[in-house]
Chain A
Amino acid sequence: MAVSKNKYAYAVGRVRVLETRLFDYGRLDRMLEAATAEESLKVLAESSYGNHFAEATGVHDFEIILSKEMAYVIAEFEKMSPQPEMVALMALNQDFHNLKVLFKCKYLGRQGEEPLLPPGMIPLKRLRSGVEEENFRDLPPVIRRAAENILMEFALSPDPQLIELHLDRALFEMKLAVAREGGSVFLVELFQREIDLLNINTFLRVKKMGRSKEFLQLALLPGGLLEEALFLNLLGEGLEGLIDRLANSPYGEIAAEGIRGWMEEGSAIRLEKLADDYITGYLRQRKSPPFGLEPLIGYLWGKQIEIKNIRLILVGKINGLPVEAIRERLRHVYL
């Protein structure tokens, strides 16, 4: 159900202060210019991330610090938002990440390869018992359906990609459904853009793998602004065709630059950065209303981008990448 925008007055007031504390380019630069990863971490310790340092023992534990900080922020936002479920949507991808890890553990025997993330909307215990007992009745219907599909198709061919594909579909299906139920046109439009940008990326990958139209159809996420037919029809053509077709869409510029980057470097790194920057810009334009969900979602996205940037810097520092190479990949800040 939609709630009165005025109910957001308190939450937006808090967000206005929190926004000012997001990392600006200056602080990211200090992390970047630091001589070692340990020095970079010291910059992190001076900020709100410092609260979680007790739980980390060294540089390699930085993931713990980052995920604790995000979990803390989401929990605070859920407490102060009149529609906690809308805020939790921003952490739903963590639940689905966990679900993927649990599935891979059970069916592919990959134990502990990827760490579990703090839960978003669904308690981890329920996910774990659901997967272990193959009983998904306690989980949202979208997840139950995806899980049953995975089990069914897994019986025919145990392809790990099936887990990814079905759960990604279910994730966005659920995000759109909750946003619609909550009456937020803003969130629906945001997720549609996320879907489009992911679909462009998926198209490039599927094309490179040389898979069939049927596979592409399964891999594309439904519900975006760009029609699936657009991608399906272009599978047999050159990538220039896709650039032309997207020229008049909202993603014209980034698609052109991102796809050229893909053709030159053979990786989606450039496209992924541009896609993140697009969403950041989109949310930044919408953050000014004094009441409403927009500033909250914008801040949470900004925080996720900040964490992504910190991770890029720390991973780069630990692996001894040159400063410029790291800087190139950094996302625009939300400020």
Chain B
Amino acid sequence: MTGSVLALLGVALAVVLPGIGSAFGVGLVGQSAAGVVTEDPDKFGQTLLLQALPGTQGIYGLLTGFIIMLQIGVIGGEMVPLTPEQGQAILMAALPIAIVGLLSAIYQGQAAAAGVGLIAKRPEELGKAIIYAVMVETYAVLALLASIMLIFGLQM
């Protein structure tokens, strides 16, 4: 396998796994929110805010994939020829956001869905419901940071 293929596998994983996680998380919160809005349509805005939270991991994954594509010249130029070692290094750099993005989006979805239950009962506590869900975001951001630092740190 050439280095470029490994690097593209890194792009694919960085985009696909957090994307799956975010879809699951947003879907889960959507179900909870639909339940609440069935009984109380006024809660649409508040629940939408919570539903958006697990969506960020998918964006982080796409961002990472985009940066790798820029670095290896898939976008805006010619593809840089990569050695198998360079390709493996890029693949490794993509793994933090790929794996943490997938799992943190699922867990954040669960926390946000629980938050939907919270505001169903106490709409005035929306801020707290958001904070609980956002705590999970920390780890997705850390993984994104690690992935980006790795990619920029590699010499092409």
B117 touches A16 (CB 8 A): yes
B36 touches A13 (CB 8 A): yes
Contact of B110 among A11, A20, A291 (CB under 8 A): A291
Instruction: Answer whether A13 and B121 are a contact pair too, CB < 8 Å, given A290-B110, A291-B110, A291-B113.
Output: no
Tell whether A10 is near chain B: CB-to-CB under 8 Å.
yes
> CA A9 – CA B80 in complex, angstroms?
47
**Chain A residues closer than 8 Å to B110, beta-carbon distance:** 290-291
The SS class assigned to the B binding surface is: helix
For chain B, residues 27 to 57, give those with C-beta under 8 angstroms from any C-beta of chain A.
28-29, 31-36, 38-40, 43
For chain A, residues 8 to 42, give those with C-beta under 8 angstroms from any C-beta of chain B.
9-20
> CA A91 – CA B110 in complex, angstroms?
30
**Closest CB of chain B to A141's CB: distance in Å?**
35
The listed residue with most B CB atoms (<10 A of its CB), out of A9, A11, A16, A17, is A9
Closest to B115 in A: A290
Instruction: Answer whether A290 and B32 are a contact pair too, CB < 8 Å, given A17-B39, A17-B40.
Output: yes
**Chain B residues closer than 8 Å to A290, beta-carbon distance:** 32, 110, 113-114, 117
Tell whether A129 is near chain B: CB-to-CB under 8 Å.
no
> CA A19 – CA B118 in complex, angstroms?
12
Instruction: Answer whether A20 and B120 are a contact pair too, CB < 8 Å, given A9-B28, A10-B31, A14-B36.
Output: yes
Interface size class of B (residues with CB under 8 A): 10 to 19
B28 touches A12 (CB 8 A): no
A20 touches B35 (CB 8 A): no
> CA A279 – CA B14 in complex, angstroms?
49
**Closest CB of chain B to A221's CB: distance in Å?**
35
> CA A15 – CA B114 in complex, angstroms?
12
Q: How many A-B residue pairs have CB under 8 A?
A: 57
A13 touches B28 (CB 8 A): no
Closest to A16 in B: B120
Closest to B40 in A: A17
B114 touches A13 (CB 8 A): no
A10 touches B35 (CB 8 A): yes
**Chain A residues closer than 8 Å to B34, beta-carbon distance:** 10, 13
**Closest CB of chain B to A22's CB: distance in Å?**
11
**Chain A residues closer than 8 Å to B39, beta-carbon distance:** 14, 17-18
Q: CB-CB contacts of A192-224 with B at 8 A, as 1s and 0s? A: 000000000000000000000000000000000
Tell whether B151 is near chain A: CB-to-CB under 8 Å.
no
Tell whether A6 is near chain B: CB-to-CB under 8 Å.
yes
Instruction: Answer whether A17 and B120 are a contact pair too, CB < 8 Å, given A9-B113, A290-B110, A291-B110.
Output: yes
Tell whether B105 is near chain A: CB-to-CB under 8 Å.
no
**Chain B residues closer than 8 Å to A13, beta-carbon distance:** 31-36, 38, 113, 116-117, 120
> CA A16 – CA B116 in complex, angstroms?
9
Q: CB-CB contacts of B102-130 with A at 8 A, as 1s and 0s? A: 00000000100110110011000000000
Q: CB-CB contacts of A239-283 with B at 8 A, as 1s and 0s? A: 000000000000000000000000000000000000000000000
**Chain A residues closer than 8 Å to B121, beta-carbon distance:** 16-17, 19-20
> CA A12 – CA B40 in complex, angstroms?
13
**Closest CB of chain A to B6's CB: distance in Å?**
34
**Chain B residues closer than 8 Å to A14, beta-carbon distance:** 35-36, 38-39
**Closest CB of chain A to B12's CB: distance in Å?**
26
| Contact surface of B with A, Cβ cutoff 8 Å | 28-29, 31-36, 38-40, 43, 110, 113-114, 116-117, 120-121
Identify 13 residue pairs between A and B in the complex whose beta-carbon atoms are under 8 Å apart, listed by A's number.
A9-B29, A10-B32, A11-B35, A13-B32, A13-B36, A13-B113, A14-B35, A14-B36, A17-B39, A17-B43, A17-B120, A19-B121, A291-B113
Per CB-CB distance, the 6 closest pairs between chain A and chain B, nearest first, are A13-B35, A16-B120, A290-B114, A17-B39, A9-B31, A14-B35
